[in-house]
Amino acid sequence: MSTLLKPLDRYIRRFATFVALFAWLILPIGAGVLTYRDLVNDLDFKAFVKANALNELVADLLNLWMYAENRVNGMIEREPVPLTDEQVSVYDPAGELITVVGRGVLDAPVIRSRGVYDGPRKVGSVEVSLSAWILLGGIAVAVFFTTLLATLILVGLQVLSLRVERRIADELFQSEQQAGVTLAVMHDAVVVADANGRTIYLNPAAEQMPHVVLFMDLDRFKVVNDTCGHATGDQLLKDIGVLIENRLRESDTLASAWP
């Protein structure tokens, strides 16, 4: 892999890994929390509507409502919201169980309770319970799909990084080919490269640039300057400038290194 592509590849892969880890951690946790909240809110809503239905029954039968077991059972089982996997228990003011309807919840129940009122006086309560295993099942499904989504995100970002690298590699290859052709027709070309080895070709005539600035690093020039004097050093620079200028043609393409 080209040294120019390695930093980009490393950045894209780190970004993809970060996004995937974020998705793997946050999305399943968020999905689990939201699923739990929705299921618990559903329990609370059922407790609320069952209690309101019993409030109307209490208003009709007064103190006799707790003895109308068949009517109470039918009301809490089917009206106004039918039961699915829940269990509904009705208690009197002393906390004694009056009746229970629905699927039995034997272990780890999640319970929501609402009071039954006769005006301002509390005359009983309704409890709607659901097995925690059903909650965990819903959470597990949400976690599974969000984890699958995180995996797809990771794969998608990896594929994207490969496509970006391939496109950049193609552009660099074309640039190198063009540079090779240019150098092939310039037998006396002067090539200047920066610290990273990048060479940028510039055509002054086509861009209407009458002057070109050339930066050169002359080895041991300081020795010449200190030994023979500044005048000699200045004359050497002038001679080099004249030599380069005499060798340049209007059709030449110069290499320009940018910092």
The pLDDT of residue 41: 87
Do 57 and 71 meet the contact criterion of CB atoms below 8 Å apart? yes
DSSP 136-150: HHHHHHHHHHHHHHH
Do 252 and 182 meet the contact criterion of CB atoms below 8 Å apart? no
Domains plus CATH for the chain? 5-146 (3.30.450.250), 186-256 (no CATH)
Torsion angle of C-alpha atoms 9, 12, 14, 18, degrees rounded to 10 = -160
- Digits of tens for pLDDT over the chain (259 positions)? 455 556 666 777 777 778 777 777 777 777 778 878 888 888 888 888 888 888 888 787 777 777 777 777 777 777 666 667 778 888 888 888 888 887 765 566 788 888 888 888 888 888 888 877 777 777 778 778 877 877 787 777 777 767 766 777 777 677 666 666 665 555 545 555 555 555 555 455 555 556 666 667 777 777 777 888 888 888 888 888 888 777 776 666 555 444 4
Tell me how many degrees the CA angle 205-256-189 measures, rounded to the nearest 5: 75
